[in-house]
Amino acid sequence: MLIETHGKLYDPTICVTRSCNLNCVYCYQKHKGPEKMDFQTAKGCVDEIFRSYSKDQYGGVLLKFMGGEPLIAFDLLRQVYDYVHEKYPDEKKMLFATTNGTLLNDEMKDWFREHHKDFYLGLSIDGTPEVHDHNRSGSYGMIDTDFFLENWPEQGVKLTISRYTIPRLAECVRYIHFLGFQKVRGVNLAEGNFDWNEEETVRELVVQLRELVDFYLEHDCFYNQMFDRQIELCEAKDRRKIKWCGTGVSCLFFDVDGKRYPCSYFTPMTFSEEELRKINTLDFTNEELFGEDKCFRDCYIYPLCPSCAGANYQTNGAFGVKNEIHCKTQKLIALFAADLKAKQMIRDPEKYDPDTRYHTINAIEKIRDLYYDEFREYGI
């Protein structure tokens, strides 16, 4: 699959429109509007991307498109595709857009079928029709899931967990897999006006995660980003601070007017002009700014707990100060991920090399020792 075989990719994003036809309950883009990019601007963005791309550092260009909803600007996507392939025929590249899937008509489907090998569409879907419709503007019936499965069967889907999703999470995940999607690649904990650490939320999540551990033991051909964690990394002797993404470096963002921003979170759709001016004075190549010192120093599962620098800044005014509203949830997920890994290792110990097996067992024991008592009252 091309999206996985190029190695480390240069992955900038072009915003083709700020407009969206949905109003999802958890959307972080608070300043959407009708603006669209024109072709001349898009060509300038593409040229800047390929000028700044270093073959010594990256194995190819993953050119991403977003909105709003990018398929609102389908004609522009086609023009950009043709321009990229005509002007940069010898560059390793792939095009990608995440979509809500509701606007695909027959003309679009025919075009994407013809170009499915080097233009991927990723689908955002939140599970059962009931939950999806609650979260995503009653749009489930507008999506042709078979189209995505036929053309990009390995791509998987993106799922965002809202407060409404939590008591229905296991059902939602099973539903997605039984539609035919092998992988739930993006599992995002929604930002919102509720407390992830609330007792009822934690109690409901315990039940759902237990069900999912049982499900994935029975169906080990499926993949879920939430559980597929390299637990052994917690035992690494050379543990280092991590900048979790390429914001400001490899995953640059070009807005509809062609102006460049550090990534798809640090944009006028999320921050004010004044905030962005301050953000753009910061050095995104200085990884110390992203180090999350408190988490690095005090949290055993730091290597398993990626965070968004944009969300951190939006909440706390700093890249490296994590939004701690998800901390309890991440500990709980780590407990169940460790439980699943332990049961998988018992069933098939030879699947792991001796060194990985040793460090994984130590990490499983330590995660349980550190966090089990915190959740004992929830019937874990």
Q: What is the pLDDT of residues 116-128, one digit of tens each?
A: 999 999 999 999 9
Helix axes 74-87, 39-52, angle to 10 degrees: 40
Residue 332 has a pLDDT of 96
Average pLDDT estimate for 242-271: 92
Average pLDDT estimate for 348-363: 95
Residue 197 has a pLDDT of 85
Of all residues in the chain, the percent with pLDDT exceeding 90 is 77
Q: What is the pLDDT of residues 290-325, one digit of tens each?
A: 988 999 999 999 999 988 898 889 888 999 898 788
Paired tokens of 160: 């965002």
Residue 353 has pLDDT above 90, yes or no: yes
Average pLDDT estimate for 161-169: 96
Q: Where are the alpha helices (DSSP H) in the chain?
A: 2-5, 39-52, 74-87, 106-114, 129-135, 145-151, 169-179, 199-218, 273-279, 293-298, 309-316, 327-347, 354-375
Mean pLDDT of the chain: 93
How many angstroms separate the CA atoms of 358 and 242, rounded? 24
Residue 83 has a pLDDT of 98
pTM comes to 0.91
Going by C-beta distance under 8 Å and a sequence separation of 6 or more, which residues neighbour residue 286? none
pLDDT band at 1 (very low <50, low <70, confident <90, very high): very low
Q: What is the pLDDT of residues 40-71, one digit of tens each?
A: 999 999 999 999 999 999 999 999 999 999 99
Residue 43 has a pLDDT of 98
Q: What is the pLDDT of residues 173-212, one digit of tens each?
A: 999 999 999 999 888 888 766 788 889 999 999 999 999 9
Q: What is the pLDDT of residues 147-160, one digit of tens each?
A: 999 999 999 999 99
Residue 8 has pLDDT above 90, yes or no: no
Residue 39 has a pLDDT of 98
Average pLDDT estimate for 83-94: 96
